Amino acid sequence: MLPKPRKRFGQHFLTDRHYLSRIVAAIDPQREDTIVEIGPGPGALTTELAKRVERLHVIEIDRDLAAVLRQRYAPTQVVVHEGDVLEFDFTVLPSPLRVVGNLPYNISTPILFRVAEMAERIVDGVFMLQKEVVDRMVAAPDAEAYGRLSVMLQYRFAMESLLHVPPGAFTPPPKVDSAVVRMVPLGSDRLRAKDEGLFSRVVAAAFSQRRKTLRNALKPVGAPESFEKAGIDLGRRGETLSVAEFVALADVA
């Protein structure tokens, strides 16, 4: 029997075997992989992964679910880390790491930013999220869904939307459609901003008011004259710029 889902932890449990097996196939776990699962819940995906890898790590905030998981699996097979994934120190886990999970949708964006911070230590990430967030992750310039999340993640990862999952696959069904996305860190020859903090501020400012031209939107970050050196028309709006153009802007600021 499923435990009573807790709304505050964004609990929607995957109960459809068809979608479960498609997600496992998308992850394609190999015995020697070090995998960490975020939000295992009652363990539908956990059980499938645990069968296939030597040792699985899971991070679960719900004390009761963590206790259920500890009882079900041998500690050598599944290591249960009870706590908040946003506070979790991933450096305690061996790397390179594969990160997977049917994420709690209420905090999926901050989780993605945490994963981005450790891009250098991971092999890939395979996550189920709201479809609307996956659309933003994979969006190209000029698309309606293109925004800060698209640029900040595409700066570090190649991303692919793998499958669409309807609300009925979960108990209780969420109000929104879901999708599975794979993120693979770009190689060490990827484009890098000279100052990544500044890059992130430029991107945030450019999208803070979507209707504004770059000339106006970037004022809080630097004088328009300094950005002109990038050779990008400052009459354009942020939503039209590629990741490379954002890097060029940050590098001259």
Angle between helices 44-52 and 17-27 (to 10 degrees): 40
Distance CA 98, CA 103 (A): 15
Q: Which two three-digit tokens encode residue 172? A: 């209780």
Binding to ligand SAM, residues 40-59 (CB under 6 A) = 40-41, 44-45, 59
Does 57 carry a binding-site annotation? no
237 within 8 A of 211, measured Cβ to Cβ: yes
Per-residue binder mask for ligand SAM (CB under 6 A), 93-132, x = binder: ---------x-x--x-------------------------
C-alpha dist (Å) from residue 174 to 107, 138, 195, 222, 224: 14, 22, 40, 42, 45
Choose which of 28, 54, 64, 84 interacts with ligand SAM (CB under 6 A).
84
φ, ψ dihedrals at 181, nearest 5°: -125, 145
Which span sits near ligand SAM by CB under 6 A: 49-57, 78-86, 142-150, 211-219?
78-86
Judged by CB under 6 A, which of 11, 108, 130, 150 binds ligand SAM? 11
Written as six digits, the tokens of 145 are 């869904």
State in Å, rounded, how far the first CA of the chain is from the last one: 57
Residue nearest to ligand SAM (CB): 39
* 13 in contact with ligand SAM (CB under 6 A): yes
Residues 205 and 192: beta-carbon distance below 8 Å: no
Residue 59 or 218 having the CB closest to ligand SAM = 59
d(CA 116, CA 122): 9
Shortest Cβ distance from residue 86 to ligand SAM (Å)? 6
List the beta bridge partners of residue 124.
Answer: 98
In the list 25, 28, 30, 86, the residue contacting ligand SAM (rule: CB under 6 A) is 86
65 makes contact with ligand SAM (CB under 6 A):
yes
200 contacts ligand SAM (rule: CB under 6 A): no
In the annotated binding site for S-adenosyl-L-methionine, the residues are 12, 14, 39, 60, 84, 102
Interaction site with ligand SAM (CB under 6 A): 9-14, 39-41, 44-45, 59-62, 65, 84-86, 102, 104, 107
